[in-house]
Amino acid sequence: MEAQNVEIIVLCDETGLKPQILRLGGYEYRLQKVNLHYTSREGGRIVHYFACSDQANYFHLRFDSHDLTWQVLEIKEYN
């Protein structure tokens, strides 16, 4: 899957960013769990990666803290 820009509703608190809702292709996915969060430096930018899930899907998300854009890198359905 090629990375796609998406809209993410995020909860920000003292522990950091927590993606809550992902909007993609006319669908709205309510993310129930952040399974993993890590950061990486890409040039002078800090990029956040999230592995999230709902009841039926796994999502690998990317947040660029420089231009404030979200991308979905991977979606997998649980079988």
Q: Each residue of 18-67: pLDDT tens digit?
A: 999 999 999 999 999 999 999 999 999 999 999 999 999 999 999 999 99
Going 54 to 12 to 16 to 60, the CA torsion angle's sign is positive
Would you state the pLDDT for residue 79?
72
Would you say residue 15 has pLDDT above 90?
no
Q: What is the pTM of this model?
A: 0.91
Distance from C-alpha of 19 to C-alpha of 54, rounded to nearest angstrom: 11
Would you state the pLDDT for residue 53?
97
Distance from C-alpha of 42 to C-alpha of 52, rounded to nearest angstrom: 22
